[in-house]
Amino acid sequence: MMRGYARNLRRRPTEAEKLLWSRLRARQLEGVEFKRQVPLFGYVVDFAALESKLVIEVDGGQHAERVDTDAARMAIFQNAGYHVIRFWNNDVLRNIDSVLETIAQELNLNR
């Protein structure tokens, strides 16, 4: 069920997800393999570097209303040893270089 949902999300990415994926795919950042719309612990995360145990979430306005749900989700990932970083859609669309720098710093901390 989650795989089908993830597949559907991959077919309909947001503009911010498209932009970020264009810069993460094919090991372009730090030589790390990222996957998009990954089923993980019963949820689908936007991007994940599984070997580095890094989850990246790109949030639209609806997440401002789901703070408790997102916090519970993050706790599950963190308890499993994953680090989660979040960006707003606007940050990705307006300042992709800063977003990529933040991700690269996080990857380097986890090595």
Q: What is the CATH number of the domain that holds 35?
A: 3.40.960.10
What are phi and psi for residue 66, nearest 5 degrees? -120, 40
3-class secondary structure, 31? coil
Host domain of residue 56? 2-109
Number of domains in the chain: 1
**CA proximity to 88, closest of 55, 68, 46, 59:** 59
pLDDT digits (tens, 9 = 90+) for 67-98: 667 788 889 999 999 999 999 999 999 999 99
In terms of pLDDT, which residue wins out, 80 or 3?
80
pTM of the model: 0.89
